[in-house]
Amino acid sequence: MEILDFVNQAGTSFHLALLDKTMEGNVRLGFVIFRQFRVKEGETMVVKNPRMAVVGARGMLARMVMNMAPPSWKLVGLSHPGFDLTDQFSTANGLAELRPDVIINCAAYTDVDGAESKTNLAFLVNGVGPGNLARAAKELNATLVHISSDYVFNGNKTVPYGESDPPDPRSVYGKSKLQGEQAILESGLERFFILRTSWLYGAGGKNFVETIIRLAQQKQELHIVADQIGSPTYTADLAQAVFTLLALEANRQETTRPRESLSGIYHFSNEGACSWHRFASEIVSLLKKTSIPVKTRRILPIGTVDYPLPAPRPCYSVLSGEKYKKVTGAVIPGWREALERYVLNRDKLSQG
């Protein structure tokens, strides 16, 4: 079993047990560790409800979700092969043992180009897996938070996509993510949030920002696609949105008669939009404010046709955050501000 160390936003450090190998034996062990995790040197904390299971716990977003979870929440991170969301029975049994109040699914097959050849795997993880989680959540009366993608759209629009715009994915990845959404909608689960997001980056994962930071230290000239438009999204802001919706729903359940559900599909990306080329230019100029040596002198715009990849991408996949803002009253940080927050604090984040 693997133990991860985290420091959350309140500066609390804790150890998190990643459940591994056999589900049955290690679930209990996970809870023993959770009940005793240290909050300060020499102190232990008895954690309170709600219980939250984070699926895909080693992934980029999952790490941020666990890092930002309210300190009083009882957390359990589930990662494969110990917990495989494509296995209906072990998913149901594993979650039944944990009895979480909230399940956050950050697991996915995220290799957009790989999905074009590993079609079955992509559909299994992204299409079938969320349905397994939804049925388990229904059985346990838990709330499911599931993350989906801007790639469910074809990109033919020129204004931001709303939640009621018809999906029409172009890639296997997009199709598999849409299948996952539909599996949740068809499961009969009452309390769920499907958050579609885009161009995600953050600590502890492969992403465009980290790729550009690496290339900027190696190459004098970069050639970056300039005819695809989207909204970069920082994992910290998406994780915050998840907790905002969950808190709002918990309040509604306590105070509203009859209960009014907030369940449904939401779009959440950082505000504003740019091309990959603009995004890369901003990353490199921010990098110059850090101690990282930058070699890149020129960033040249190229077309999608000049950089052929196995999976087709939507040329415009900006998501409208209007529904999220209206329901929560929250402000969504702009993509440039979020990027600055990330790039200028990266070193501290990686230590955390």
Ligand X SMILES: NC(=O)c1ccc[n+]([C@@H]2O[C@H](COP(=O)([O-])OP(=O)(O)OC[C@H]3O[C@@H](n4cnc5c(N)ncnc54)[C@H](OP(=O)(O)O)[C@@H]3O)[C@@H](O)[C@H]2O)c1
| Residues between 292 and 351 that touch ligand X (CB under 6 A) | none
Q: Is 307 a catalytic residue?
A: no
The only residue of 67, 198, 240, 263 in contact with ligand X, by rule CB under 6 A: 198
Minimum CB distance to ligand X smaller for 43 or for 89: 89
The only residue of 7, 39, 58, 114 in contact with ligand X, by rule CB under 6 A: 58
d(Cα 53, Cα 66) in Å, to the nearest integer? Answer: 9
Choices 24-32, 55-63, 242-250, 260-268; region in contact with ligand X by CB under 6 A: 55-63
Report the 10 Å Cβ neighbour count for 326: 9
E-strand ranges in 119-217 read 143-149, 192-197, 200-201
Catalytic residue among 173, 234, 316, 342: 173
CB of 145 to ligand X, least distance (A): 11
Q: Which residue has the tokens 């850090």?
A: 290
Length of the chain: 352
Query: Burial of 298 by CB count in 10 Å (0-12 exposed, 13-18 middle, 19+ buried)?
Result: exposed
CB of 323 to ligand X, least distance (A): 17
Minimum CB distance to ligand X smaller for 73 or for 279: 279
| Residues between 135 and 154 that touch ligand X (CB under 6 A) | 147, 149
The only residue of 17, 18, 60, 203 in contact with ligand X, by rule CB under 6 A: 60
Q: What is the CA radius of gyration of the chain?
A: 20
Is 106 among the residues that bind ligand X (CB under 6 A)?
Answer: yes
Is 19 among the residues that bind ligand X (CB under 6 A)?
Answer: no
Nearest-CB residue for ligand X: 59
The only residue of 17, 19, 61, 286 in contact with ligand X, by rule CB under 6 A: 61
Is 27 among the residues that bind ligand X (CB under 6 A)?
Answer: no
Backbone angles phi, psi at 3, to 5 degrees: -110, 125
Do the beta carbons of residue 147 and residue 195 sit within 8 Å?
yes
Strands 229-230 and 274-275: antiparallel
d(Cα 31, Cα 19) in Å, to the nearest integer? Answer: 10
Minimum CB distance to ligand X smaller for 210 or for 227: 210
Is 199 among the residues that bind ligand X (CB under 6 A)?
Answer: yes
Q: How distant is the alpha carbon of residue 85 from its chain centre?
A: 16
Is 123 among the residues that bind ligand X (CB under 6 A)?
Answer: no
Helix (H) or strand (E) holding 306: none
Do the beta carbons of residue 54 and residue 246 sit within 8 Å?
no
Do the beta carbons of residue 233 and residue 268 sit within 8 Å?
yes
| Residues between 252 and 281 that touch ligand X (CB under 6 A) | none
Is 287 among the residues that bind ligand X (CB under 6 A)?
Answer: no
| Residues catalogued as catalytic | 173
Interface with ligand X (CB under 6 A): 56, 58-61, 79-80, 83-86, 106-110, 125, 129, 147, 149, 177, 197-200, 205, 207
